[in-house]
Chain A
Amino acid sequence: MTPSTDRKRFTVPIGPQHPALKEPGHFAFDVDGEIVQSASVRLGYAHRGIEKATESRTWVQNLYLLERICGICSHIHATAYCLGVEKLAEVEVPPRAQAIRSLVAELERIHSHLLWLGVAAHEAGFDTLFMYSWRDRETVMDILEALTGNRVHYSANVLGGVKYDVDDKQAATIREGLDFLEERTLHYLEVVTTDGLFLQRTRGIGVMNRDEAEQSGVIGPTGRASGVHRDVRIDSPYTAYAEHPILPVYESTGDLLARFIVRLREQLASFEYIRMLLDHLPNSPLTTRMPRRVKEGEAISRVEAPRGELFYFIKSNGGDMPERIHVRTPTLCNIASVAQLVIGQHLADVPMILVGIDPCFSCNDRTSVISQDGQRDLWTWDRLRQYGINHYGTHYSKDIHR
């Protein structure tokens, strides 16, 4: 960070601790007056070592560890892991279980998008919309609790199937909840597209056209708002999406408003999809036998998380623990676009643009050490600790003792 007395560069730091960010991440914006001139992103404040931890846990235990990568899109992490492990073990999951996986995933998408709507409204200073959207989100949380027993970290998945069935009573509860949520979502769609003051903060802000989006590799709703036709549920269907395709949602304007519209319309698509799934739930057992040791090999599994494509690489050496698991969360693909989008924008719009990609920093923090000579590089606890002390010591001591 540069001292504030430097006339040429006035840097506004956002994070790692800042009210706009619900998780730690660091952004430095060089501003001229209120206009952002350049931006830099720094991640890695919430690295939790989950990938390494998976290597010392059994396949079953890892399911719950990986589910906890993200508190919002937890089910989809577990689904991605299950699909990959089942592929490796060559296990066929019963169709009813696949349908229920899709069902919970879509419910989760609704809850994630409603949460995002609230956060984005809060960043714009529209706290009333924030309060209302989170109040209505309780409906879908209650549905998830009734279905699986938990509000978050539903643990609906199990290797080889799902734990919980949907009976008629629950189907009725879900339908009732969906009707209410559909009415509310349509209302919020009207609010974000017609409210004059809110439009002033979203229309034409943070515009990313299709070429830019393709170039920076943006995925998920952020990409679909810019007209990037990419959705894993359609391009490479998994669970129930192969048999029952979901309606994709695309916008082309690529501004913040489009990101609002895409997410809200995706919710509407999810309502339709869940109703259809409830009508066509196949009859079959919920689980199938799963071996404790998984055959040697490598598998890749891709799913569409609420924030975009989620990628899992799983490698087994034939034992009861994985040899390597790599996770790439959607935020990693999207976060770099923020540094480009904010240039030329007002400082006041920066938090909204940042939140527009629906970032999730803790899910996304990874460490990669690339050694050019091909040698194995072992980082012991002591070495990591010393690295931290040196890094922060040299980095911040200047700033503190000016």
Chain B
Amino acid sequence: MTELLQVLVTMLFFPAGLFLLANAMFYQWIDRKLVARLQDRVGPPWYQPLADTVKLLANEEVLPFGVNKWLFIGLPIIGLAGALTTALYLPIAGLPPAYGFPGDLIVTVYMLSMLTLCLGLAGANTRDRFSMVGATRTLTQLFSYEAPFLLALLGPALAAGSWQLSDIMAYASGNWLLLTQPIGFVVVIIGLMGKLEITPFDAPEAETEIVAGALTEYSGRGLALFRLGQWVELVIGLTMIAAFYLGGIHNPLDYVIKTLFPLLIIAGLQTLMTRLRIDQTVGMWWRYGALLALVQWLLIFLMGGGQ
């Protein structure tokens, strides 16, 4: 009975449920506020993401002509669920992960990709032309950043000699991998930006070309869930970066400081860059991203990190 209660709490409140959603909205607000301040604007009030979500959930969900109804409704739920599930294996708020098993690193990374995949399928499901172009771009971008992102995240795993998140984090809490694997850190940060489709990798949802990309036909609940999913991914990504590269997470304060630092970098990069065309994005990732990740691997082997 207590076990069931514990499972329910982990799923619904902490770390995967409400707490993570609130956390995601807060971090989304910080990102928006930072970008606004960097652009010499005032920015939204703290409750803006919450207000957006509530408003979208209250909106009517229009089911467009010619879509598969079940896919249309189901995909946002699966995407958000995938993003939320990853929190179970991560030290959210500085507390030890709820679950863990050998190889959960790979599961986590693929769970994160599930949202992108759902986004692509959601776009392809509708007959809208902007959605179709957006879906193609989303999936093309997925194939471009995914490999370098994964290769870079395997760097700490190689150094730690384990594919289990808790082992890597235990190894990383003693060593600041930012200092020993700086290239991997850069690739992961930029990979996270690609995953979240923020400037300069926002070609899949470039509003001046294809309106809202794959999400053009979504209104109301579906849109809210997809947005929430992306915000959750932001928190998950930041947590991974903090846990892997910034000397581990030991307590809630540590968590806040160490996740806000990469967020500041992301907001800064987002401010200073122009949107890349999708062909430029792909070219950049395979020409430089993958190469850099491999160079990082080579360095790890040379330094004798790989056990």
Contacts and interface: CB of A to CB of B under 8 A. Distances in A.
Q: Do any CB atoms of chain A lie under 8 A from CB atoms of chain B in the complex?
A: yes
Interface of A: 4-5, 10-13, 18-20, 31, 34, 121-128, 131-132, 135, 195, 197-198, 200-201, 346-351, 402
B132 interface: yes
B208 interface: yes
Interface of B: 38-41, 65-66, 127-130, 132-133, 199-200, 202-203, 206-211, 271-280
A126 B132 CA distance: 24
A351 B276 contact: no
B199 A125 contact: yes
Contacts of A132: 39-40
Given A201-B277, A347-B133, A125 B271 contact: no
Contact of A195 (B40, B129, B274): B274
Given A34-B279, A132-B39, A347 B274 contact: no
B66 to A, nearest CB: 8
A127 B200 CA distance: 11
Contact of B129 (A13, A128, A135): A13
Contacts of A10: 129, 132
Contacts of B127: 4-5
A370 B210 CA distance: 37
Contacts, number: 82
B41 A126 contact: no
A11 B129 CA distance: 8
A33 to B, nearest CB: 8
7 contacts: A4-B127, A12-B210, A20-B208, A125-B274, A348-B209, A348-B275, A402-B65
A126 B274 contact: yes
Nearest to B132: A4
Contacts of B130: 12
A351 B208 contact: yes
A366 to B, nearest CB: 27
Given A197-B274, A200-B276, A350-B209, A125 B133 contact: no
Contacts of B206: 125, 348
A122 B277 contact: no
Most chain A CB inside 10 Å of its own CB: which residue of B128, B132, B210, B280: B210
A11 B127 CA distance: 12
A36 to B, nearest CB: 11
Nearest to A20: B208
Contacts of A19: 207-208, 211
A280 B279 CA distance: 54
Contacts of B200: 125, 197
Contacts of B38: 128
B199 A127 contact: yes
A12 B274 contact: no
Given A10-B129, A347-B133, A123 B277 contact: no
A137 B271 CA distance: 20
B190 to A, nearest CB: 13
B46 to A, nearest CB: 21
Nearest to A131: B39
Nearest to A119: B208
A200 B280 contact: yes
Most buried by A among B38, B130, B208, B210: B208
Contact of A197 (B65, B210, B273): B273
